[in-house]
Amino acid sequence: MTPENPNISRRRLLGGGLALGGFVALGGLSACGGDDDDDDGSAGTTPGTTGGSGTTAPASGGGGSISMFGWDIADTTAGLGLGFEACRVAWQEQTGNELSFDGVPFGDFVATGTTRARAGELSDVVELLPNLNHAGIFPALAPTAKADYGALADEVTGWESALLDATVDGEYAGIPGGAQGTLFYYNKALFEQAGLDPEAAPTTWEEFEAACDALLAAGITPLGMSGVDGNLLWWAWNAFTPQFFTTADEVNKVRTGEIPLDDERFMQSLAPIASTYAKGYWNEDYASKQFADMEAAFGAGEVAIVPGLITSAINWRVFDDSLGKDAYGVFTAPLVEGGIERKQFFNPVLLYGLSTSTDEVELSRDWISFVVSKEGQEIMLRESGQFPNRSDVSVAEVADSPGAAAISAIVEEVGGVPAAQVNFNSAAAGAATQGITDAAVNDDLAGFLENLALLQSEG
């Protein structure tokens, strides 16, 4: 099986991506992982795992050795690899155990992992994207239960995105760690140049269009889009669907087939942002641009608004460096007609599973527990800009970024939920990213959604 969204995930989405994958509630929000049916409260914390304090106790004895298989760890000098390396150093110093990284290119992950699993050579710990992104490697994983991690299981959110089977509660591919999502970034100076209040982002679709019209009248390109990969329009659409599918339970019905992809809510969420092409809001050279090009264009002040991510690429950490920490603002998708309420797409960025062949179960869980603990997620945020899926990590203090703090405040204010698109199967997700831009440009959203519905039903 191919990744659910290869274009997004290659630079860690979707986030991560979506990794989409993508993305889970921060402080002040209720966890949306459902009831702890598999945790009767009698299970204690395993040796070296996290209790209720958010810190990790050293594994007893020391001197053990495990390995971890993934793609972010293929390069520990950049991206999430930086954070993983810092976590590894800290964990080894605290426990006296050793961890080796077995990294492969993202595109080779499923095939390589499957081959090694069949040969009994898969590493102890496996890095995964949430939802169906890496379903192809599920057979090589030992099912995870919340009870495996004791109190730590209740400290992290996003368990619904880790289910092995959407119809079976309590069995997971791994424990969720970190958070991802999509939203909009805007250039405050360009807003001010167009006569707009740089501190007042649009909250309704009418306000969004009015802002774009004002920018256009001032000779400023309102909205950055990428036609080569389709990622920016795809991410924008992901930002709008939480207004229509406002709970994790609703989103899960897309995976089970109870909600087909030709449900009218998909059209209602896509039509407004797709209409921005006909209104002339896009950069004229969109057809030749990839999302990385528009990341650079926004950072250079060439476009006023761009859809972006919370963790990894085209995000607050990038724009802190390119524009300056106080030069941009963020906003969640403005409320459109038919939307129930504004919500923020927020989902786990990664899962951490155990291979069926490991003979170091407790030591492997000890390492995983450190990565998703308060200490571990603070390291990941500080070193790599990965948002936490814990309520006890202060994003504002650790990230030292007004942009990151603003995102955290948005999630607290409107609520974080997964986007319905995280449960598209691989065929539908691939067709969506490849075809969404053409569908908007050619005004064929109905045909686009009909094709996605067919692909989803056949999967």
Could you tell me which residue, 12 or 322, shows the higher pLDDT?
A: 322
Q: Say yes or no: 217 and 264 in one domain.
A: yes
Angstrom distance (rounded) from CA 22 to CA 40: 30
Residue range 353-369: average pLDDT? 97
Nearest to 320 by CA among 235, 405, 392: 405
Q: Say yes or no: 128 and 205 in one domain.
A: no
Q: Say yes or no: 175 and 255 in one domain.
A: no
Largest pairwise CA distance in the chain = 68
- Give the strand pairing for 65-70 and 98-103: parallel
At 144, is the secondary structure helix, strand, or coil?
Answer: strand
Residue range 15-22: average pLDDT? 34
Q: Say yes or no: 437 and 288 in one domain.
A: yes
Banded model confidence at residue 58, pLDDT cuts 50, 70, 90? very low
pLDDT higher than 50, residue 118: yes
Q: Say yes or no: 291 and 327 in one domain.
A: yes
Domain end position, chosen among 358, 377, 393: 393
pLDDT higher than 90, residue 49: no
For residue 217, count CB atoms less than 10 angstroms from its CB and return exposed for 0-12, middle for 13-18, buried for 19 or more: exposed
pLDDT at 62: 87
Q: Say yes or no: 25 and 169 in one domain.
A: yes
Q: Say yes or no: 441 and 316 in one domain.
A: yes
pLDDT higher than 90, residue 20: no
Residue range 286-311: average pLDDT? 97
Nearest to 9 by CA among 164, 119, 129, 173: 129
Q: Is residue 17 part of a domain?
A: yes
pLDDT at 25: 24
Structure tokens given for 455 = 């692909």
- Give the strand pairing for 347-355 and 141-142: antiparallel
Q: Say yes or no: 324 and 352 in one domain.
A: no
**Least confident interval from 88-92, 160-164, 303-307:** 160-164
- Name the domain count of the chain: 2
pLDDT at 167: 84
Q: Is residue 236 part of a domain?
A: yes
pLDDT higher than 90, residue 340: yes
Banded model confidence at residue 401, pLDDT cuts 50, 70, 90? very high
How many secondary structure helices (H) and strands (E) does the chain include? 17, 13
Banded model confidence at residue 59, pLDDT cuts 50, 70, 90? low
Which amino acid, residue 146? K
Banded model confidence at residue 312, pLDDT cuts 50, 70, 90? confident
Q: Say yes or no: 47 and 170 in one domain.
A: yes
Q: Is residue 29 part of a domain?
A: yes
Banded model confidence at residue 405, pLDDT cuts 50, 70, 90? very high
pLDDT at 29: 22
Q: Are 109 and 75 in contact (CB under 8 A)?
A: no
Q: What is the DSSP letter of 204?
A: B
pLDDT at 35: 34
Neighbours of 365 (CB within 10 A): 29
Banded model confidence at residue 244, pLDDT cuts 50, 70, 90? very high
Q: Are 250 and 423 in contact (CB under 8 A)?
A: no
pLDDT higher than 50, residue 17: no
Residue range 148-181, pLDDT digits in tens: 999 999 999 999 999 999 888 899 999 999 999 9
Q: What percent of the chain has pLDDT over 90?
A: 81
Q: Say yes or no: 163 and 195 in one domain.
A: no
Is the pTM for the entire model greater than 0.75? Answer: yes
Alpha carbon 356 to chain centroid, angstroms: 26
Q: By residue range, what is the domain housing residue 157?
A: 6-180+347-393
**Least confident interval from 26-30, 53-57, 247-251, 392-396:** 26-30
Residue that has been written with the tokens 């703090």 in this structure: 405
Q: Say yes or no: 214 and 169 in one domain.
A: no
Q: What is the CATH number of the domain that holds 441?
A: 3.40.190.10
Banded model confidence at residue 135, pLDDT cuts 50, 70, 90? confident
Q: Say yes or no: 20 and 161 in one domain.
A: yes
